[in-house]
Amino acid sequence: MKLETLQLTNFRRFKHLEISFHKNLTVLAARNGQGKTSVLDAATIALGTFVGAFDLGKAKHIEQRDARYKREKNKPESEQQFPVEVKASLSGLKNPVLRKLSGAKNKTTTKDAVELAALGKKMMTQVRNLEPVALPLLAYYGSGRLWNVHKNVTRKSVLSESRTMGYEDCFSSASSFTQVQQWMTKATFAALQQKSMQAYEGYNIADQIEGIQETVNTVLSIEGWSGFHYSVHHEELAMTHEELGVLPVSLLSDGVRAMVSLVADMAWRCAKLNPQMGADAPMKTEGIAFIDEVDMHLHPKWQQTVIGSLRAAFPRVQFIVTSHSPQVLSTVNSESIRLIRSEQDPETGEIQSDATIPTMQSRGVASNEVMAELQGIDPIPGVEEAQWLKDYKVLITSSQSSPENENTKQKLKAKILDHFGEQHPEWLECQRLERLQQMKTKLRGKTSAGGSKD
């Protein structure tokens, strides 16, 4: 199952938006408030009838608050616009999926999503008949995933629960990491029981644990962490660091915890949905993962590797993520980037939006070039120290020499040296420009002298 296109009408800030998705990876990039998260939310609504077909799944619907507000130009009053429509095309389906909310007192329609719902019902029947059908992973991870945690963990900690547990709260923006910890705790003791009691032979709980551990290790190894496990000593999930030893996950940095919780949850859902795949469930499970702010809390070095490591851990999953980071964008081919931009119509005052593929290749490009060319941001911050450098370089290259310019230049030089120091690359660049300018002046002098002799 792959999401191919999405069309939104009157959904939140969008009067209309059409966006296509790469079959493996799509990174949504835009300024704050341009609708990146709204695109992710709309996609989960489009997939709602599929998830809702499973016993433990819950469909998402268009809410009244999702309707776009429109106001007349230069007037304060605004009114919600209907119908709100979310239309999606998915691989393997003959017809597009359409969800619609026609008015404030209506409910989201499902009549144009019956093909997707039928697919979910068919798979649910196969699960009930104990057939080894491969279920697709569908999961959403919001930007508040580190702090917004589900409180009800009772049922999720039950090892014998239905395979469809993998769809429970799968589109919730809250974290399921507490549930993962409960499951890993019981699974660890269950694996020990299976080893010691012949009556439990044939259960593959140890394989599921192994698959989750290996997946977390794949993504976290870049930061020196490995050995994801339930620690009897600490009575919680823990990891091993080559320098720090064994530490509980709760004591790790926000960046590490955010990535552990995301990857562990994805791997756990793969293991629950497809236990017949054993330890290979994360590697073999197909599906779609939506991640808001994939670079959240990560150091720039880790931002440069996070996409590659996620794809290595879940090679058959389609990732649709958002990011502000030029470090992330510089590791992604331009065909996988969608730039969401909006402009206000000067006549109507309404916002017109589009999602485009960059014309410039981004993968392998320096981060400052990505900022300038893709994101339209000057890599040099607008602070006075940067202006000193700019003004000083202008004076260096200026052909107009005067006592006033020389005095200004010396004052700037003193400020620059005091702030940056003599060995700073910016000052060394100023010196290089000065030497180059001196050489040009000498050459011009020689040329002028030669011409006068003739």
pLDDT tens track for 10-32:
999 999 999 999 999 999 999 98
Give domain status of residue 278, yes or no.
yes
pLDDT computed for residue 392 by the predictor = 93
Higher pLDDT, 73 or 69: 69
Please give the pLDDT value at position 71: 82
Report the Cα 27 to chain-centroid distance in Å: 7
pLDDT at 148 (0 to 100): 65
User: Residue 162 domain-assigned?
Assistant: yes
At 130 the pLDDT is: 95
Per the structure, the complete domain to which residue 56 belongs is given by 3-373
Return the pLDDT at 102: 96
286 and 254 in contact (C-beta within 8 Å)?
no
Domain assignment of residue 67, yes or no: yes
**For residue 146, is pLDDT > 50?**
yes
The predicted structure's pLDDT at residue 348:
74
Mean pLDDT of the chain: 90
Residue 167 lies in a domain: yes
Count of the separate structural domains present in the chain: 2
- Residue 378 inside a domain? The answer is no
Q: Are residues 266 and 333 in the same domain?
A: yes
Residue for token pair 């010691």: 196
CA dihedral 329, 334, 338, 341 (to 10 degrees): 80
Question: What's the rounded mean pLDDT across residues 341-363?
Answer: 88
DSSP assignment of 201-262, as one string? TT--HHHHHHHHHHHHHHHHGGGTEEEEEEETTTTEEEEEETTTEEEEGGGS-HHHHHHHHH
**What whole-number percentage of the chain has pLDDT above 90?**
73
Q: Is the pTM of this model over 0.75?
A: yes
Which two tokens mark 341? 């931009």
* H or E element in which residue 71 lies: strand 69-71
**Is residue 297 located within the same domain as residue 413?**
no
Least confident of 344-353, 410-419, 440-449: 440-449
Domain stops at, among 339, 373, 407: 373
Q: 152 pLDDT band (50/70/90 cuts)?
A: low
pLDDT at residue 452 in the model:
53
132 and 22 assigned to the same domain: yes
pLDDT at 205 over 50: yes
More confident residue, 446 or 85: 85
**pLDDT mean over 92-107:** 95
- Whether the per-residue pLDDT at 351 is higher than 90: the answer is no
- Please check whether residues 398 and 340 belong to one and the same domain: no
Q: What is the pLDDT of residue 145?
A: 76
pLDDT of res. 448: 63
Q: 70 and 158 share a domain?
A: yes
* Region of poorest pLDDT, from 139-143, 144-148, 157-161, 438-442: 157-161
Q: Is the pLDDT of residue 81 over 90?
A: yes
Q: How confident is the model at residue 46 (pLDDT cuts 50, 70, 90)?
A: very high
Please say if the pLDDT value at position 154 is more than 50. no
pLDDT at residue 443, rounded to an integer: 82
Q: How far apart, in whole angstroms, are the C-alpha atoms of residue 39 and residue 440?
A: 55
User: Among 324, 344, 373, where does a domain finish?
Assistant: 373
Residue 184 included in any domain: yes
Percent of the chain with pLDDT over 70: 93
pLDDT for position 172: 87
Lowest-confidence region among 58-67, 74-83, 97-106, 426-435:
74-83
CA angle 164, 167, 173 (to 5 degrees): 160
Please report which helix (H) or strand (E) contains residue 300, including its range: helix 300-303
The reported pLDDT for the residue numbered 132 is 96
75 within a domain of the structure (yes/no)? yes
Same-domain pairing of 40 and 101? yes
Least reliable range by pLDDT among 58-67, 113-122, 201-210, 356-365: 201-210
| Mean pLDDT for the stretch of residues 287-299 | 96
* 447 in the same domain as 367: no
Residues 361 and 408 in one domain: no
Same domain assignment for residues 203 and 339: yes
Let me know the angle formed at the C-alpha of 11 by 6 and 17, rounded to the nearest 5 degrees.
Answer: 45
* pLDDT at res. 271: 95
Q: What is the pLDDT of residues 176-194, one digit of tens each?
A: 788 888 889 888 888 887 7
Name the phi and psi angles at 332, rounded to 5. -120, 135
DSSP string over 76-133: S-EEE-S-EEEEEEETT-SS-EEEEE-STT-----TBTHHHHHHHHHHHHHHHTT--P
- Among 373, 403, 421, the domain boundary falls at 373
CB 17 within 8 A of CB 35: yes
Can you give the pLDDT at residue 183? 87
In a domain, 224, yes or no: yes
Tell me the mean pLDDT in the region 359-378: 91
The reply to whether 429 and 314 lie within a common domain is: no
- For residues 394 and 309, membership in a common domain is answered with no
Q: What is the CATH number of the domain that holds 54?
A: 3.40.50.300
Are both 354 and 434 inside the same structural domain?
A: no
Tens digits of per-residue pLDDT, 376-418? 888 888 999 999 999 999 999 887 778 888 899 999 999 999 9
